[in-house]
Amino acid sequence: MNEANTSVAVAPGLFRQMSPPVLFGSRCERCGAHYFPSTSHCRHPGCRGARVLEVDLGRHGRLYSYTIQHYRPPPPFSMEPWAPYAIGIVELPEGLRLLAMICGVPFAELEIGMEVELVSEALHRDAEGREVLTYKFTRLAS
């Protein structure tokens, strides 16, 4: 079996499942505003741009804020096995701030401003036995 048959994204259109993973976004051709998830039109209040381009977003960012969640996330983001997890706001080079799980960093070592990079990890297995993947961020390797 190849990887395409053994894994599936938690939601379509969020990221490309490759190594390394890539977030799908969009950018207004007129004002340059970036969006994630991607959108079909510019939502900037001062822009009347009609054309939005699909773009890959930067894989590195900075942790803008975070918290530790002590409850199970709702579907489709359910996790098995479940344990408390870090969730943060990550600021990307495009100026976007997006919500993402933070992995691979002990809670006591999380720091506002730390450099992070995009990864993809399994949340659980679906009824067909495939890994259900999501995007997450982890500490940028030095």
- Give domain status of residue 23, yes or no: yes
- Give domain status of residue 57, yes or no: yes
Q: Which among 131, 138, 99, 106 has a CA at the least distance from the CA of 14?
A: 99
pLDDT score, position 5: 62
Q: Which among 35, 36, 3 has a CA at the least distance from the CA of 18?
A: 3
- Give domain status of residue 64, yes or no: yes
- Give domain status of residue 32, yes or no: yes
Q: How many domains, the chain?
A: 1
- Give domain status of residue 1, yes or no: no
pLDDT score, position 3: 46
- Give domain status of residue 89, yes or no: yes
Q: Are 26 and 13 in contact (CB under 8 A)?
A: no
User: 118, exposed or middle or buried, with CB in 10 Å at 0-12, 13-18, 19+?
Assistant: buried
- Give domain status of residue 119, yes or no: yes
Range of the domain at 57: 6-139
pLDDT tens sequence for the chain (142 residues): 344 468 888 887 788 877 789 999 999 999 999 999 988 899 889 897 779 999 999 999 999 999 999 998 877 777 888 899 999 999 999 999 999 999 999 999 999 999 999 999 888 888 888 888 889 999 998 7
pLDDT score, position 11: 80
pLDDT score, position 85: 94
pLDDT score, position 2: 43
- Give domain status of residue 46, yes or no: yes
Q: What pTM did the predictor assign?
A: 0.86
- Both tokens of residue 2? 């190849």
